[in-house]
Structure 1
Amino acid sequence: MNIFQSPLFKIPGYRRMWFSILFSNLGGQITLLALPLTAVFLLDASPTQMGLLTAMEIAPFVLLSLPGGVLLDRMQKLPVYIAGEFVMGLSLLTIPLAWAFDLLTMGWMYAVCFAIGAVYTIAGSASQLVLTQLVGRDKLVEAYSQNAIAGSMAEVMGPGLAGILIKVFGAPLALVMDAILLIGSVAMLKGIRIHEQVPPRSTWKDRSFKAELMKGLNFVRSHNMLIEMAVVVGAWQFFAQMALSVQIIFAVKDLGLDEALVALSFVAMGLGSIMGGMAGPPISKRIGLGPALILGIVITSIGWLSLLLLEGYLPSIILFSWMLLCFSWGATLLFVNFLSLRQSYTPTELLGRMTTTMRWLITLPAGPGAILGGWMAEHVGMRSSLICAGVGTLLVATIAYARPRLRSIKQLPTVNQTNDS
């Protein structure tokens, strides 16, 4: 199957955005492995510290999402997106520099993770809005699926590249490659042309920042479907982060995998994302967007539970790889449908505030989940975090399916529809 035959690639600018996503995600795969491995092997981080490391990356979503949404609705989104890629590259470069001068500490790692989270919060929201501007609302499901394929290609290639770089140069220096790839992402994005009308800066003083912030909150609050999706995905985030915050240290200290085997296992994440990205639209069309979202949650739960149930019966690398495949497969299916539904409910002038409000709502539980997962792993046992993640996400899916509103959504609504109509 030639993905470039999709009509999306005939849309001016989309091909550049797709390659930007590929470069950025390829670098992200290096960081996904190099950051926690630096903490575990060089700084001897405890499970609680690993939970805090994850929480520091999540914290900016809670602190900056709402004001960021107001600013995004006042500004052109593409320059914000480009600036975010550049700032992330600079932040990552500080880690090998600090390591070279023997200044690297967990405090430094927390600061870099907070900076990365801030970029994801503001520039990540901007990227979603740029996509909507490029392809239009009616093509969002296909566009998010194509973007997921770019991400999953990076997840297939990235772990191998990361493993080689970490083995040869060490985890801190591997981050230099991520910075180089982010420069490539910036180069792709700078070739995109979007003509966007934004309020003149001279009118900002006449518009109440608080009133505009509340308008975004009130819009989400007035749509029961948006609230229900935020609750479901937020609850999934809480339990998922319990496992994600400790999965690297679990693989190294409990399963006995070294850096190379951990990197090899992460190839399975790419395969799972490809499955989710390519099968996502047919599944959504066949069973409906709401049921497909719930199915994604179930698949992630299967990964964590099967790892624990089959431990001792299969080699550790196979079990860990299977868990990662289920997570990426399920999470891709979940978010392709969640993001498409979320954007489709919202008028253009409120997209920025709606996007950041929803991201704020679904990440509020993520930080506590990461911290609790790290604490439980250290004081109760590593497997306790994985058990809670598996059982908790399965419970979330069961409750979501028991409620008729979400499971009844079969196709994208029009922007004028509300969930109360």
Structure 2
Amino acid sequence: MTNNDDRALALPAFRLFLTARTISWAGNAITLVALPVLVFQLTGSPALTGLLTATEALPYLVFGLPAGALADRWDRKRVLVVTGAASGLVMASIPLAASLELLTVTHLFVAALGVSSLFVFFDAAGFGALPELVGRNRIPSATGTMVAFGTVISLIGPAAGGAIAAAVGPALALSIDAAAYLIAAVLTAFVHWVPIASPGADVPLTAAGLVSDIADGIRYIWRTEIIRWLTLIGAGASISGGAMLGLTIVAGVEQLGMTDDDPRLGLLYSATALGAFLVSLAVSRIQRSVGTGWITIAALSISWITQLVWAVNTSIGVGLVVLAVFQAASTLAIMNGIIVRQSLAPDHLQSRVNTTARMIAWGGTPLGAMLGGTLAEHFSVTLALVVCSLGTALGLAIAVGARLWRVPTLGALRSEVT
């Protein structure tokens, strides 16, 4: 059982921070369905629908390194507030353009690119803010709680998003996300925590200094063996994840027989949220009792098998179960990597280490989304998903080849560092 000292929810500041994030996630869950539906309605193209996912992932590859280094220098709370508010304004431009009959596919992609670019800086600040807010010993509890709340919203949000998009149109549904971003930014402004000063943060920033800061983060990742392996493994698995996400709507229409305005499309995303939620409740206990390496090997194995089943499935009921299991395994692997990084990295390297690792680990997402969309358009959804699942197989091969089963539990890893 977890001691009260380890419970992040015991902290009022964390509860307010969590409230703000939950409101934002509620809007995001609706957009998760409404935006690809809007693209598919306007174009009818699986390739462009898959390209949307690639567009949303691309900014991490471009801005991940400098964003992490800058967030370690800047006021992380201010970054969270400004990027959240700006995201709300960008998202609001879509329903506004639609109401004026000026909405185009180009506008959708530019808006998705803008929000995703802002997210890179938001994410970098969030990585560093969490240890400051809750303390190092509460990181597993805080991360698990945030994922649990986020996935509860994701259970309801996508289904609601599908229904709302069908009732009022996907463009208008996006206005909810815009409002959620703005409300969350205001609440975050009232969260109080004491920032941890970064060595050299008061030194004027130069191009050479920024490069040096980025290099410090990269060196730490490479020197820390378990973080290095988890990052490389994530890069392969993200190819498969990009294809799975980018082709969710397309698979629902072409394999499961839904229409492009079927409210049940939201259930596909809700199924994945259920899997993530169940894992989030258990991740702290799993990490206390199971070796970090075995967690990775088991999660990748299950993820690969379920991807292959999803590729040939034509039943909605079976599909929902498969998606839930897939996302449970995928989320376990992702959370395991994040918690390990946040638990081991020094405070002044938190943002750059985590954004750099996520940038590398997510590097395959746009490739998987584009490759999956292209293969689905010219061949079939089944072939696209099978081919892209090889990314997870590659990650599994790396994990076994590196003999990660030897890596101990998170607690033992922390003891070794301290």
TM-score (structure 2 length as normaliser):
0.91
Shift of 1:394: 3.8
2:112: which partner in 1? 113
- Flag the 1:211–1:406 CA change in 2: closer, same or farther, 3 A: farther
Q: Deviations over 1:317-356 (max 9, x none)?
A: 2133223312321222112211011122311111222122
- Post-superposition offset of 1:381: 1.2
2:345 aligned counterpart, secondary structure: coil
Aligned match of 2:298 = 295
Shift of 1:6: 7.7
Q: For residues 353 and 266 of structure 1, do their structure 2 counterparts lie closer, same or farther at Cα, with a shift above 3 Å needed?
A: closer
Partner of residue 20, structure 2: 20
Counterpart of 2:257 in structure 1 is 256
Mapped partners of 1:116, 1:83: distance in 2: 12
Q: Relative to 1, partners in 2 of residues 1:406 and 1:180: Cα closer, same or farther, differing over 3 Å?
A: farther
Match of 1:167 in 2: 166
State the secondary structure of the residue aligned to 2:410: coil
Q: How does 1:47-196 map to 2 (within 5 A)?
A: 47-196=46-195
Asked if structure 2 preserves the Cα contact closer than 8 Å seen for 1:401 and 1:407, the reply is: no
Deviation at 1:224, TM superposition (A): 2.8
| Cα separation, 1, equivalents of 2:414 and 2:233 | 22
165-174 vs 198-207, which deviates more? Answer: 198-207
Partners of 2:209 and 2:269 in 1: CA distance: 47
Please tell me whether the aligned partners of residues 242 and 389 of structure 1 are also in contact (alpha carbons under 8 angstroms). Answer: yes
> Counterparts of 1:301 and 1:70 in 2: how far apart (Å)?
34
- Structure 1 residue ranges (4+ consecutive) displaced by more than 4 angstroms after TM superposition: 198-202
How far apart, in 1, do the equivalents of 2:280 and 2:189 lie?
A: 26
Q: 2:219 maps to which residue?
A: 218
| 1:176-214 superposed Cα distances (whole Å, 9 cap, x missing partner) | 111222233223312211222355656335972222222
Q: Which amino acid aligns with 2:185?
A: V
The corresponding residue for 1:31 is 31
1:230 aligns with 2:231: yes
Larger CA deviation: 46-55 vs 56-65? 46-55
Look up the SS of the partner of 1:203 in the other structure: coil
Match of 1:282 in 2: 285
Aligned partners of 2:252 and 2:295: how far apart in 1? Answer: 30
CA spacing shift, 1:274–1:407, aligned 2, 3 Å: farther
Cα 1:255–1:405 shift into 2, 3 Å: closer
For residue 285 of structure 1, report the CA deviation from its aligned partner: 2.3
Structure 1 Cα separation of the partners of residues 339 and 258 of structure 2: 37
Residues 389 and 368 of structure 1: is their aligned pair in 2 closer, same or farther, counting only changes over 3 Å?
closer
Residue 268 (structure 1) aligned with residue 271 (structure 2): yes
Q: CA deviation at 1:241?
A: 1.1
Aligned residue runs from structure 1 range 39-50, under 5 A: 39-41=39-41, 43-50=42-49
d(CA) in 2 for partners of 1:371, 1:415 = 42
Matches of 1:354 and 1:406 in 2, distance apart?
A: 24
Q: CA deviation at 1:415?
A: 8.2
> Equivalents in 2 of 1:237, 1:61: separation in Å?
13
How far is the alpha carbon of 1:402 from its aligned partner? 4.1
Per-residue displacement from partner, 1:48-73 (whole Å, max 9, x unpaired)?
Answer: 21222111111111111111122111
Tell me, yes or no, if the aligned pair for 1:345 and 1:416 is still in contact at 8 Å: no
Q: Is the 8 A contact 1:22 1:153 kept in 2?
A: no
User: Is it true that 1:366 corresponds to 2:362 in the alignment?
Assistant: no
Which consecutive unaligned segments of at least 5 residues does structure 1 have? none
SS in 2 for 1:266: helix
Letter of the structure 2 residue corresponding to residue 150 of structure 1: F
Q: Which residue of 2 aligns with 1:338?
A: 337
Aligned equivalents of 1:28, 1:395: Cα separation in 2: 31
Q: Against the structure 1 CA distance between its residues 360 and 395, is the aligned structure 2 distance closer, same or farther, given a 3 Å change threshold? A: closer
1:260 aligned counterpart, secondary structure: coil
User: Cα–Cα, structure 1 residues 55 and 415, in superposed 2: closer, same or farther, change >3 Å?
Assistant: farther
> Kindly tell me: are residues 207 and 231 of structure 1, through their superposed partners in 2, closer, same or farther at Cα, counting changes over 3 Å?
closer
- Once residues 219 and 402 of structure 2 are traced to their aligned partners in structure 1, the CA distance between those partners, rounded to angstroms, is 23
Q: RMSD between aligned alpha carbons?
A: 2.5
Q: Structure 2: where are the runs of 5+ without partners?
A: none
Are 1:322 and 2:325 matched, yes or no?
Answer: no
Amino acid at match of 1:203: P
Give 1:124 shift. Answer: 1.2
Alignment check: 8 A CA contact 1:297 1:334 kept: yes
- CA displacement 1:123-182 (0-9 Å, x = unmatched): 012112111111222222222111111111101121232133212211010011112222
**Against the structure 1 CA distance between its residues 121 and 407, is the aligned structure 2 distance closer, same or farther, given a 3 Å change threshold?**
farther
Say whether the 8 Å CA contact 1:345–1:415 is kept in structure 2: no
Q: Structure 1 281/23 Cα, relative in aligned 2: closer, same or farther at 3 Å?
A: same
Deviation at 1:406, TM superposition (A): 5.9
Q: How far did 1:261 drift?
A: 1.1
Between the aligned residues of both structures, percent identity stands at 25
For 1:262-301, what per-residue CA distance to the aligned partner results, in whole angstroms no more than 9, with x for missing partners?
1133322222122111122222223223322332223332
Task: For 1:180 and 1:389, locate their aligned partners in 2 and report how far apart those are by CA, in whole Å.
Answer: 36
Greater mean alpha carbon deviation, residues 65-74 or residues 44-53: 44-53
